[in-house]
Structure 1
Amino acid sequence: MSSLTVPESIPSVPEDCEQIRKAFAGWGTNEGLIISILAHRNAAQRKLIRQAYAETYGEDLLKALDKELSSDFERVVLLWTLDPAERDALLAHEATGRWTSSNQVLMEIACTRSSHELLLARQAYHARFKKSLEEDVACHTTGDFRKVLLPLVSSYRYEGFEVNKTLAKSEAKILHEKISEKAYNDEELIRILTTRSKAQLNATLNHYNNEFGNAITKDLKTEPKDDFLALLRAIIKCLTYPEKYFEKVLRLAINKTGTDEGALTRVVTTRAEIDMKHIKEEYYRRNSVPLGHAIAKDSSGDYEKLLVALVGNENA
């Protein structure tokens, strides 16, 4: 569910391009004009603007934005303007980088996109970086992390709602056994989490809860400082309650001493057109403060304006 407010009567694509070009003209950039256009266009419309801009002015819009803007505002505009699959490919590539490696970002992309979206991201990765996401993940991770992340990014889960109850029961038992034995890196446990459909997993985890009296995430919290267990808990959350996962990422990003702009920018740009409404509801339920207010209090200038616009200010 999108929070993006797209105006009822949208100017034509050439008009949008002309206005953006105008924002770059003269001394300084008119950031307000850029926000007023790009923050209110959906992915398909932004793609058309990029194509038309290149055709009209012989320059990639992203390159033009890169030249004109700076810092956190530039980052949020560039990520937002990218096609969703290209954006995921870029984030994944950064996450496998030597200095910015992040298992969390890879897991997030693998678990909160649909199978088709993940496939498109992998194709965009090929096209842009001339190698596969899988080989970079395999190269950048080791041990248990590689064992779980590689099948996650390679997965093409079934998207339907059909559930096999007998299977849910038997796999809940397997999960419980492995966790009880602290065999967290067991192949069967990893197989279940990385290949089953979200509907099937939900059934398995509900059965786990009912049968063994504890949520699986609680049983995986026996060693809170263990990074691998934290990753397993995050995988489960992303696959079953993504809004709870993203609420926590935002809460931690905002409540830090010094904002984690990287996480804030990533979540807002990747979820604004997907499930921001649910994330905002979860944020309010958990923090008693509207997400838009929290972002406005914690950021400033054009960066703040664009984030708040993307979050959708119907109750911000």
Structure 2
Amino acid sequence: MASIWVGSRGTIRDYPGFSPSVDAEAIHKAIRGLGTDEKTLISILTERSKAQRQLIAKEYQAAYGKELKDDLKGDLSGHFKHLMVALVTPPAVFDAKQLKKSMKGAGTNEDALIEILTTRTSRQMKEISQAYYTVYKKSLGDDISSETSGDFRKALLTLADGRRDESLKVDEHLAKKDAQILYDAGENKWGTDEDKFTEILCLRSFPQLKLTFDEYRNISQKDIEDSIKGELSGHFEDLLLAIVHCARNTPAFLAERLHRALKGAGTDEFTLNRIMVSRSETDLLDIRAEFKKHYGYSLYSAIK
């Protein structure tokens, strides 16, 4: 069964000759010994696919009567702990937890919300919403509603609904029509009709949006990004720009996020962990290539 969490451009593949019981035992030894054997943990957990890591966790629970993630939590600390726990968490649950974390406490981490909701497919969003409800007994929509407001909230809720079209077929007539609607809702109008932007940018497929942006340029002689910057503001503007960026090139969008997380005085480990773990089986090869192309040095050396 092809998983909706696995793409063809990941850095991690199924490990050949995989044995969940052998791995579970090695991990148990690494945790239980005098002092933790981090090398073993790294070599196993970063070289098995998500599906394989879930099987290891199952085997671990059966053999030792404890959850692997709880043992890792109890034994490790800091960012390394977060990363190892992330690796043994099912992807939909991991995203649900990241979303919860970005809405917890004082202030909302809008960047994280935007990044997750714009880069996940509709099918992934549906799984994330289910996982969110299972873990927190609250709907993702309710939490988004209470933590955000205005057009930003409306657009996030539309994305969280997972209704974006995912067909790869593009409709030229629709692109022309949508481009005109966007032009009439923004540049060509006194005041802006935000709802039209939300409707089109949150529901059309990425290939369709790309074509729409080309048509938009023909009509208005401007890039859609420039119109959004000129017409809108705040987190709503950030969200729509993120959607445009993703529609044009998702790996480049995520490469930019990684670059931002890695440069400057402190590292944003929260973002670094999230992108590395969540994209490792989807498009991390492409993200790596985009990183090198845009910044002139490798993601590997930046992390190092």
Q: Same fold (TM over 0.5)?
A: yes
Distance 1:6 1:164, change over 3 A: closer
Range with bigger deviation, 266-275 or 103-112: 103-112
Contact 2:93-2:131 within 8 A present in 1 as well: yes
Which of 212, 221, 228 is the matching residue for 2:229? 221
Residue of structure 2 in register with 1:308 after alignment: none
> Quick one: distance in 1 between partners of 2:74 and 2:300?
29
Contact 1:108-1:235 within 8 A present in 2 as well: no
Residue of structure 2 in register with 1:304 after alignment: none
* Structure 2 letter corresponding to 1:50: A
Residue of structure 1 in register with 2:116 after alignment: 109
Distance 1:215 1:116, change over 3 A: same
* Structure 1 letter corresponding to 2:81: E
* Structure 2 letter corresponding to 1:200: Q
Which of 201, 211, 216 is the matching residue for 1:203? 211
Post-superposition offset of 1:148: 1.4
> Quick one: distance in 1 between partners of 2:163 and 2:232?
30
* Structure 1 letter corresponding to 2:40: L
Show CA shifts across 1:18-67 (max 9, x none). 00000012321111100010000001101101111111111110000000
Contact 1:108-1:238 within 8 A present in 2 as well: no
* Structure 2 letter corresponding to 1:42: S
* Structure 1 letter corresponding to 2:128: A
Residue of structure 2 in register with 1:258 after alignment: 266
1:1-316 superposed matches below 5 A: 1-4=9-12, 6-10=14-18, 12-99=19-106, 101-180=108-187, 181=189, 183=191, 186-222=194-230, 226-296=234-304
Contact 1:89-1:125 within 8 A present in 2 as well: yes
> Quick one: distance in 2 between partners of 1:69 and 1:100?
28
Distance 1:3 1:182, change over 3 A: farther
* Structure 2 letter corresponding to 1:107: I
Post-superposition offset of 1:7: 4.2
Show CA shifts across 1:275-312 (max 9, x none). 1111111100011111111100xxxxxxxxxxxxxxxx
Contact 1:112-1:239 within 8 A present in 2 as well: no
Matched residue SS, 2:230: coil
> Quick one: distance in 1 between partners of 2:242 and 2:112?
11
> Quick one: distance in 1 between partners of 2:258 and 2:21?
36
Runs of 4+ in 1 over 6 A off after TM superposition: none
Contact 1:107-1:152 within 8 A present in 2 as well: no
Range with bigger deviation, 205-214 or 48-57: 205-214
> Quick one: distance in 1 between partners of 2:91 and 2:171?
33
Query: Unaligned 5+ residue runs, structure 1?
Result: 297-316
Contact 2:110-2:235 within 8 A present in 1 as well: no
Post-superposition offset of 1:184: 5.0
Contact 2:97-2:132 within 8 A present in 1 as well: yes
> Quick one: distance in 2 between partners of 1:256 and 1:163?
41
Distance 1:199 1:223, change over 3 A: closer
Post-superposition offset of 1:152: 1.2
* Structure 2 letter corresponding to 1:229: E
> Quick one: distance in 1 between partners of 2:91 and 2:176?
37
> Quick one: distance in 1 between partners of 2:84 and 2:193?
39
> Quick one: distance in 1 between partners of 2:277 and 2:107?
19
Show CA shifts across 1:168-201 (max 9, x none). 1011111123231475562111111111222222
Post-superposition offset of 1:158: 2.3
Range with bigger deviation, 227-236 or 12-21: 227-236
TM-score, structure 1 as length reference: 0.88
Distance 1:274 1:184, change over 3 A: farther
User: Once superposed, what is the RMSD of the aligned Cα atoms?
Assistant: 1.9
Matched residue SS, 1:44: helix
Show CA shifts across 1:177-232 (max 9, x none). 32314755621111111112222222211211233232211222338984432222
> Quick one: distance in 2 between partners of 1:9 and 1:204?
47
Range with bigger deviation, 147-156 or 271-280: 147-156
Contact 1:79-1:87 within 8 A present in 2 as well: yes
Residue of structure 1 in register with 2:5 after alignment: none
Distance 1:186 1:221, change over 3 A: closer
Matched residue SS, 2:186: helix
Query: Unaligned 5+ residue runs, structure 2?
Result: 1-8
> Quick one: distance in 1 between partners of 2:75 and 2:271?
23
* Structure 2 letter corresponding to 1:159: E
Show CA shifts across 1:56-93 (max 9, x none). 11111000000010001011111122111111111111
